Copies of this chain bind each other. A is one copy, B any other.
């Protein structure tokens, strides 16, 4: 195999596919990028068996071939090459020569035969979103997935529910203390879909999406030929010259709609940024070891945030518009801050029933809904 690339093209491709390289594995083939130039196009692929990324790379094929090469060492070399042409060639023992200007590297590769290609999936029907929209809805929900996927419930909570109903995509994530929901309108109607996408996949997808509002992502919900269950087995994201294929999480997601209520006894309208900065200051008094809540006291026209720990105390008042009764309620400050950070609006509406019931932060059309469980506190 002998290929010629521009360094910048090579660098971009390596940086895209390396997102699917597992951080820890005992199988050295999974640490490899598979370079396929057996046809007229050059593709780079990485695949950790859950998540696979393939990207087509601009380059000249002098001699066809294929090889698997350790991602870490290959990407470090590529990154440090001069900004110029790079010639990559391999010999019959799977050694790879990388030549650029006067620098010449020689590293050991592997036969591509052991590399597991991306699963063959049907790609017929798809929805499309702008890259920016997809990035935003992931960013605005991903923080409330569960990081502990050891139990079967934990496994479900480590993903996000993607639901399509007519021309609406609804994305839900939750852990044991909170729920985040985002809705976006699609340009066209689509059949009903309800799948759980691994959080890990979504975290890598946002890193790889480099486009903005004018660049499109096509999302396929699909099944591969070996899949015996009902519904879909895989989700595929296609954008630019890159394809991301991920397994879905099997199982039945939580019935979130039954937890959502529109009853409230207090409705608060407050400047998002002011509230966020105030809670951020309060967290200075939140000690890792004694996890004190913030206490929120709502009276007419005023919200008081208080916290008291072994570090000291903090107390701050901010202006607000209130409808309904006065309330005193405790929260884990991090959960409130995560939701406030995910919202772009200048003001937010916060709905509460009592000190034991979930609190809702949502907009009028429920394009976003954040639900946070309060915590007990002692005054």
Binding site for B on A (CB under 8 A): 73, 76-77, 80-82, 102-108, 277-278, 280-281, 284-285, 311-318
Are B318 and A285 touching (Cβ within 8 A)? no
Are A312 and B108 touching (Cβ within 8 A)? yes
Residues in B whose Cβ lies below 8 Å from that of A108: 312
Residues in B whose Cβ lies below 8 Å from that of A318: 102
Are B316 and A285 touching (Cβ within 8 A)? no
CA distance A318 to B82 in the complex (A): 13
Are B311 and A280 touching (Cβ within 8 A)? no
Are A284 and B80 touching (Cβ within 8 A)? yes
Are B73 and A315 touching (Cβ within 8 A)? no
Q: What's the minimum C-beta distance from A259 to chain B, rounded to whole angstroms?
A: 34
Residues in B whose Cβ lies below 8 Å from that of A73: 284, 311-312
Assuming A105-B313, A105-B314, A106-B313, what are 18 further A-B pairs, CB within 8 angstroms? Answer: A73-B311, A76-B284, A77-B281, A80-B280, A80-B281, A80-B284, A81-B281, A102-B316, A102-B318, A103-B278, A103-B281, A103-B314, A104-B314, A105-B284, A105-B285, A106-B312, A107-B311, A108-B312
Q: What's the minimum C-beta distance from A209 to chain B, rounded to whole angstroms?
A: 29
On whether A105 and B312 interact (CB within 8 A), knowing A80-B284, A284-B77, the answer reads yes
CA distance A104 to B106 in the complex (A): 63
Residues in B whose Cβ lies below 8 Å from that of A104: 314-316
* Residue in B closest to A79 when the chains form the complex, CB atoms: B284
Residues in B whose Cβ lies below 8 Å from that of A103: 278, 281, 314-316
Q: What's the minimum C-beta distance from A89 to chain B, rounded to whole angstroms?
A: 14
Residues in B whose Cβ lies below 8 Å from that of A314: 103-106
CA distance A271 to B312 in the complex (A): 58
A-B contact pairs, 27 of them (CB 8 A): A73-B284, A73-B311, A73-B312, A77-B281, A77-B284, A80-B277, A80-B280, A80-B281, A81-B281, A82-B277, A102-B317, A103-B278, A103-B281, A103-B314, A103-B316, A104-B314, A104-B315, A105-B281, A105-B284, A105-B285, A105-B312, A105-B313, A105-B314, A106-B312, A106-B315, A107-B312, A108-B312
CA distance A372 to B106 in the complex (A): 28
Q: What's the minimum C-beta distance from A70 to chain B, rounded to whole angstroms?
A: 9
* Residue in B closest to A282 when the chains form the complex, CB atoms: B103
Residues in B whose Cβ lies below 8 Å from that of A102: 316-318
Q: What's the minimum C-beta distance from A96 to chain B, rounded to whole angstroms?
A: 8
Q: What's the minimum C-beta distance from A359 to chain B, rounded to whole angstroms?
A: 22
Residues in B whose Cβ lies below 8 Å from that of A76: 284
* Residue in B closest to A102 when the chains form the complex, CB atoms: B317
CA distance A317 to B103 in the complex (A): 7
Q: What's the minimum C-beta distance from A11 to chain B, rounded to whole angstroms?
A: 14
Q: What's the minimum C-beta distance from A251 to chain B, rounded to whole angstroms?
A: 42
Residues in B whose Cβ lies below 8 Å from that of A80: 277, 280-281, 284
Q: What's the minimum C-beta distance from A72 to chain B, rounded to whole angstroms?
A: 10
CA distance A281 to B101 in the complex (A): 13
* Residue in B closest to A108 when the chains form the complex, CB atoms: B312
Residues in B whose Cβ lies below 8 Å from that of A312: 73, 105-108
Residues in B whose Cβ lies below 8 Å from that of A107: 311-313
CA distance A76 to B280 in the complex (A): 11
CA distance A73 to B313 in the complex (A): 12
CA distance A312 to B281 in the complex (A): 52
* Residue in B closest to A105 when the chains form the complex, CB atoms: B314
